[in-house]
Structure 1
Amino acid sequence: MSTPKIQKVTKPEPGKVRDKTVLPPREDRLGSIIVAGGTAKNLVDQTRRKCLKNQDRSFSQTTFCQQWLAMFTLATIKDTVVIVHGPVGCISSMSYINVFNRLGQIHRNGKPVSGRWISTNLLEADTIYGGEEKLRTAIRSADDRYHPGAIFVFTSCVSGIVGEDIDAVIESIQPKIKATVIPIHCDGFRSKLWASGYDGSFHGVLNYLIKGPVEKQADLVNVINPLTIGRPDEVEIERLLGKLNLRANFIPCFASIDAIKESASAALTTGLCPTYGEYLAKILGERYRIAATQKVMPIGLDNTDLWLREVARPLGKEKEVEKLIKDERRRVKPQIDALIKKLAGKKVFVSAGQSRAVGIPNMVADLGLEIVGVTAFHYDEVTYDSFANLTKRCGNFPTSVANLQPFEQTNLLHQQKPDIFIGHSGETVWAAKQGFPTVMGLNLFHLFVGYEGVVTFGNRLVDAFTNPAFNKNLSAHSKAVYHDDWYTANPFKYIREAACHR
């Protein structure tokens, strides 16, 4: 089937009137939750019956705030400056984010390029008398010192509680500033769900950088890429899309301002993480009539099949994609069959963001491993269908929804005793101290996506299984983090149950 001709969009015409509303948090917008404990089928059943409640814990450990994730989303965009309107501590994590930034620049450009950030350094007196003049000074300083194309101004808990009107400040100073100044509303206290920070970032980008009308490019596909997606994954996506005669426009991480503006001219928007890009894909579709698909991450064989088919269908490439899937499956089958033999009988516990918490278990199931537990950092309607399908494939396993609560995780691992733990960098240390072999659920240096990603990840699992000495020695010489009686207690004893009356 030939690709349909796409006409020039003449309306609606966004950008003339900016949407100054502050988005509601995901708890309100998507019904997202960060607290649940039990089994996978129980979670699916509660969602189906509309009984999923945003519960709480009577005890909770430290987690992230949405401002941090908002900065994580936009700080790597080229030719920009980050300003955090808050106490200096609120910008301290930029040094950590800059590690990702520099590594990503090396992988893409061959040399590290540091980000640029400024704090307005709100003090106690500023909470009384206001800090708007400090913000004006910071904006002028960013423009004079760096001459960027855009300046992102992030709110903080302090500026939000005080009620600083950053939109009014930006509107008043913009005529004197060459860069486009963009407000990002991400006050940490507004949401316990850090993923809400993604939405605030994209809301600002959509209103201030992306404008129309535009001439459509029939072969251009927006691929929304979070900062945790490494360059090897992008290269593999480029290869697969290239087989369909399509070009990838990776946004927003490590993109230029021009590439972000060009997103309005794409024929399709997809993403490498539905949780991350849900809002951006939705609004690009509504404003610019761009088809969107956000069902799954292209991790694992079946999910990659689905991801490719969802990309191909709106563009009239169904025949080409079926040939691609068949060829790729045939190519990797001998390697996957060999890995299945090596990994037979092994049990896995997975902890990840909600999209990876569905994608990674599907991938390890492709390799013949048994899922004995899954923790998702949050859960909502974005992944409900995918999670329901996972239970049909892998059965009923212990499941928790937790925004990094290691006391629950260590308990679950002690009781389930997996052969390997797959998690994020900040989590694997807990499992390692318990003596479990560990593998990172994201790594900028390794391939995860596509058919080749299954082979690469399978080989990493084999390496972890055959080289467990370090974690065993670490466990033997590490003192237990919690009292012995906690490891035999109900891991969800601190969850306050919410009744369902349906």
Structure 2
Amino acid sequence: MRFDLKTSVVKTREKRLGTIIGWRTGKASELSKDSAFTCAGCKGNGGKKLCEAVGPFTQGSTCSEQMVECQAGNVRDAVLIQHSPIGCGAGQVSYNSIYRNGLAIRNLPIENIKIINTNMKETDTVFGALDKLEQSIRDAWDRHHPKAIFVGTSCAAGIIGEDIDSITTKMQEELKIPIIPIPCEGFMSKHWSTGFDATQHGILRQIVNKHPKKQEDLVNVINLWGSDVFTPILKELGLRVNYAVDLARVEDLEKLSEAAATVTFCHTLSSYIAAVLEEQFGVPEVKAPQPYGIAGTDAWIRELAKVTHREEKAEAYIEREHQRIAPKLGELRTLLKGKKGYVATGSAYAHGLIAVLKELGIQVDGSLVFHHDPVYDNNDESKDSLAFLVKHYDDVPNFSVSNKQQYQFYGLLKKVKPDFILIRHNGLAPLASRMGIPAAPLGDEHHAVGYQGILNLGETILEILAHKKFHEDLSKHVKLPYTKWWLEQTDPYILEKQNYAVGKE
């Protein structure tokens, strides 16, 4: 088997998939072609590496531990313990807000996240802090009586080699609930998406039912906090939704192995858990494009229907939806004709959003993705979201990979001059605004999913374009925090030139 659930440590994305976090601007088709060559016939990332642009510094990013915080920390009847200095817990503030908002839009009882920090201090890095971890697990049990406890590691815990497995094993025997070690220190991987895999690995090891009783109408939907758009879609096929990981209960996670299939809104998020569920628990992953735009949604629904034996219902639903959205879609295309958009999000999600923009008749001359996976865990061509985008919606001439580096983002936007940008990680939005470009921060990641998602996104774009004059006025009265030399550069990757082509023999 390709996936080892006997160890608590998941293989990083760069080792499994050949993930890169930098690629100098070129056509999307060029990156797709290089990726196909890289992974053709390989096992994991056993082919040649993509040429990766490596800069001399990182202006800002995210780490794997934060992704564990936003995944394991969002299981409703569980507790996450961060075995870390208190600074690593700063994200609890923003993730609590996101968690509460997610519960609200799903009409679930609103509550605060349950995350405990062990507050490792300087002396703990010398003498160890396993006693603090054990006490924190007891505190978690006494305060919340959770159905499971996750333990995530920090850079500090990883550097001193804390043996969290021994403590979690001991406490699991005592408390009789799953206590799950999740090694996820920030330096573990160069891209934060490994944190998704680390959480999912722990769930697959210690929570998922190992002797499932299959439910032929249950479908796993791997997601974050978005609105419940999948229930009405799957209901048309006579299917029920099992959301994971965020906002799920431990009971829902146990049922992952009982489902008839696994789907997602984003291949980046679901790659690991879907592949393992198929390989080791017999739950087929729906190998199809993501459900964005008409072509992607058609293919996604047809493949799900094929796996669950509901082809007739699928065709009837597709026909009804095509007819329903046609008048409004035509109106939106007229209103948005001539507009230029830019997408700056995670990898596979960006591919889906670009498809929707092109469905709306919007010109997309450029896009920034925060990383690139040449292949996903199942190594199936049908899930090549970048190739699907190029094939069905034409090329993107200025396609870039950069790990949320603001200093590069300025040059990328300056070259393309879009009318607006789509973004999920809002830290880049203020820079665009100071350049006179409005942004649509897609806090609800399901906003553009499916047939209705095309209309949703079109209406959102019209709303932000109505405020474009404000951003243009703002740009005339602010100063960007860069030197005159940098502002005059035409190549955002000029600092990477000396280090370019890492991995090229």
Secondary structure of the 1:19 match is coil
- The superposition leaves residues 146-195 of structure 1 with CA deviations (integer Å, 9 ceiling, x where unpaired) of 11111111011111111111011111222222432111110111111100
- The alpha-carbon distance between structure 1 residues 214 and 372, as it changes in their structure 2 partners (threshold 3 A), is same
Q: Quick one: which amino acid aligns to residue 34 of structure 2?
A: Q
- Does structure 1 residue 36 correspond to structure 2 residue 34? no
**Which consecutive unaligned segments of at least 5 residues does structure 1 have?**
1-11
**What is residue 116 of structure 1 aligned with on the other side?**
114
Q: How far apart, in 2, do the equivalents of 1:276 and 1:445 lie?
A: 12
- The superposition leaves residues 452-476 of structure 1 with CA deviations (integer Å, 9 ceiling, x where unpaired) of 1111110111122233122122212
Give the conservation status (yes or no) of the 8 Å contact 2:8–2:182.
no
**What is residue 163 of structure 2 aligned with on the other side?**
165
Give the conservation status (yes or no) of the 8 Å contact 1:70–1:197.
yes
- Does structure 1 residue 443 correspond to structure 2 residue 430? no
- The alpha-carbon distance between structure 1 residues 208 and 68, as it changes in their structure 2 partners (threshold 3 A), is same
Aligned counterpart in structure 2 of residue 239 of structure 1, from 216, 225, 232: 232
**What is residue 429 of structure 2 aligned with on the other side?**
428
**What is residue 289 of structure 2 aligned with on the other side?**
296
Give the conservation status (yes or no) of the 8 Å contact 2:8–2:181.
no
State the Cα distance separating 1:111 from its structure 2 match.
4.3
State the Cα distance separating 1:486 from its structure 2 match.
2.1
Give the conservation status (yes or no) of the 8 Å contact 2:53–2:502.
no
- The alpha-carbon distance between structure 1 residues 306 and 20, as it changes in their structure 2 partners (threshold 3 A), is same
Aligned counterpart in structure 1 of residue 35 of structure 2, from 30, 42, 47: 47
Q: How far apart, in 2, do the equivalents of 1:66 and 1:246 lie?
A: 33
- The superposition leaves residues 408-447 of structure 1 with CA deviations (integer Å, 9 ceiling, x where unpaired) of 111111121111111122221110110012212x223983
RMSD over equivalenced CA pairs, Å: 2.0
Secondary structure of the 1:291 match is coil
**What is residue 146 of structure 1 aligned with on the other side?**
144
Secondary structure of the 1:355 match is helix
- Does structure 1 residue 391 correspond to structure 2 residue 390? yes
Q: Quick one: which amino acid aligns to residue 222 of structure 1?
A: N
- The alpha-carbon distance between structure 1 residues 403 and 284, as it changes in their structure 2 partners (threshold 3 A), is same
State the Cα distance separating 1:403 from its structure 2 match.
1.2
- The alpha-carbon distance between structure 1 residues 396 and 92, as it changes in their structure 2 partners (threshold 3 A), is closer
- The superposition leaves residues 281-333 of structure 1 with CA deviations (integer Å, 9 ceiling, x where unpaired) of 11111121111125433222221112112211112222321221111011101
Q: How far apart, in 2, do the equivalents of 1:226 and 1:339 lie?
A: 28
**What is residue 102 of structure 2 aligned with on the other side?**
104
- Does structure 1 residue 364 correspond to structure 2 residue 357? yes
**What is residue 494 of structure 1 aligned with on the other side?**
495
- The alpha-carbon distance between structure 1 residues 144 and 238, as it changes in their structure 2 partners (threshold 3 A), is same
**Which consecutive unaligned segments of at least 5 residues does structure 2 have?**
39-48, 377-382
Q: How far apart, in 1, do the equivalents of 2:207 and 2:395 lie?
A: 45
- The alpha-carbon distance between structure 1 residues 18 and 409, as it changes in their structure 2 partners (threshold 3 A), is closer
Moved more, 205-214 or 328-337: 205-214
Q: How far apart, in 2, do the equivalents of 1:54 and 1:175 lie?
A: 46
Moved more, 326-335 or 98-107: 98-107
**What is residue 41 of structure 2 aligned with on the other side?**
none
- The alpha-carbon distance between structure 1 residues 197 and 110, as it changes in their structure 2 partners (threshold 3 A), is closer
Q: How far apart, in 2, do the equivalents of 1:477 and 1:111 lie?
A: 44
- The alpha-carbon distance between structure 1 residues 328 and 131, as it changes in their structure 2 partners (threshold 3 A), is same
Moved more, 49-58 or 237-246: 49-58
Give the conservation status (yes or no) of the 8 Å contact 1:373–1:399.
yes
TM-score (norm 1): 0.92
**What is residue 124 of structure 2 aligned with on the other side?**
126
Name the % identity.
Answer: 33
Secondary structure of the 2:62 match is coil
Q: How far apart, in 1, do the equivalents of 2:173 and 2:159 lie?
A: 28
**What is residue 24 of structure 1 aligned with on the other side?**
11
State the Cα distance separating 1:54 from its structure 2 match.
4.0
Secondary structure of the 1:57 match is coil
**What is residue 6 of structure 1 aligned with on the other side?**
none
Matched positions, count: 482
Give the conservation status (yes or no) of the 8 Å contact 1:348–1:418.
yes
Q: How far apart, in 2, do the equivalents of 1:127 and 1:100 lie?
A: 32
Moved more, 490-499 or 411-420: 490-499
Q: How far apart, in 1, do the equivalents of 2:332 and 2:107 lie?
A: 34
Secondary structure of the 1:381 match is coil
Q: How far apart, in 2, do the equivalents of 1:137 and 1:147 lie?
A: 14
